[in-house]
């Protein structure tokens, strides 16, 4: 079996694959202060709860955008799973040409998402990842990674309103009943949620115009389903897109 590990700024997502089947998936809060033993105890508990054995893991693939945590998880794989992890980065086989100014500055999760979208849904494709940041990644009809856009994430935008505006409260990220809010909380929910729907629709329209053709739009990340329900601009929601990309990259490099 394969352990896929996606280390993000807000969450760490772990997935266990038996061939192409995702048999277990967990989402943990990212903690840069936790050491190898702390993550090992947590991993043991997760595996035990699902009735899995660490000895069944024969490979691992890691995507990481939090540099201090990469050596922690590499050691976790080596010492506690007895496997050498495949780390997404320069030098690994992806099958995708990265047509940006400096490919080394591209976040590992973004190229992993692009590979998964291309293989699972075809091209051209636009991938929107609703994470700490909201990223847009564009794959051409030929399967090349063309670049994209980065916007502040939904959660950090709402949190910034709460922290920087003295009279605005912290809100639940729930879609309100109407655009025109009748109180402060509903008004903030409208601005944040429907504002992001408009952001998505506007960006998708501009990207397609620049591409010069239609493209499949795939969304992933924690709030992908919430936004997708409010717009026809998103055709596909796959919350495990990054894990799928890690599985595919591991197959290519095995």
What tokens were used for 170?
């912290």
Q: What are 130's strand-pairing partners?
A: 134, 221
What tokens were used for 201?
């629709």
User: Helix 241-253 crosses helix 108-121 at what angle (to 10 degrees)?
Assistant: 90
- Catalytic-labelled residue, pool 6, 109, 129, 137: 109
Cα–Cα distance for residue pair 155/187, rounded to 1 Å: 16
Q: CB of 218 within 8 A of CB of 126? A: yes
Cα–Cα distance for residue pair 140/94, rounded to 1 Å: 15
Q: CB of 214 within 8 A of CB of 181? A: no
Other Cβ atoms within 10 Å of 3 Cβ, number: 28
Q: CB of 118 within 8 A of CB of 217? A: no
Please confirm, yes or no, whether 109 is among the known catalytic residues. yes
Q: What are 60's strand-pairing partners?
A: 3
Residues 6+ apart with CB under 8 A from 225: 219, 237, 239
- Please name the residue that has the structure tokens 């429907």: 194
Alpha-carbon separation of residue 3 from 12, 15, 109, 234 (angstroms): 13, 6, 16, 29
* Cis status, amide bond into 124, omega within 30 of 0: yes
What residues are annotated to the active site?
109
């Amino acid at each position: 079996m394969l352990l896929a590990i996606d280390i993000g700024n807000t969450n760490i997502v772990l997935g266990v694959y038996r061939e192409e089947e995702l048999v277990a998936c967990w989402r943990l809060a990212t903690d840069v202060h936790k050491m190898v033993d702390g993550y090992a105890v947590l991993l043991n508990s997760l595996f035990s709860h699902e009735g899995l054995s660490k000895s069944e893991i024969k490979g691992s693939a890691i995507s990481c955008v939090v540099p201090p945590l990469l050596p922690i998880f590499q050691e976790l794989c080596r010492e506690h799973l007895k496997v050498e992890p495949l780390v997404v980065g320069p030098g690994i086989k992806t099958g995708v040409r990265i047509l940006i100014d400096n490919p080394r500055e591209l976040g590992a999760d973004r190229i992993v998402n692009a590979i998964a979208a291309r293989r699972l849904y075809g091209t051209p494709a636009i991938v929107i990842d609703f994470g700490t940041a909201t990223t847009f990644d564009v794959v051409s009809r030929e399967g090349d990674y063309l670049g994209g856009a980065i916007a502040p994430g939904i959660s950090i935008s709402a949190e910034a309103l709460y922290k920087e505006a003295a009279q605005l409260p912290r809100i639940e990220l729930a879609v309100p009943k109407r655009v025109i809010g009748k109180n402060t909380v509903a008004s903030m929910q409208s601005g944040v949620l429907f504002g992001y729907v408009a952001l998505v629709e506007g960006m998708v329209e501009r990207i397609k115009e620049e591409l010069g053709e239609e493209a499949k739009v795939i969304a992933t990340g924690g709030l992908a389903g919430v936004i997708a329900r409010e717009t026809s601009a998103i055709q596909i929601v796959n919350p495990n897109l990054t894990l799928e990309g890690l599985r595919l990259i591991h197959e290519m490099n095995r």
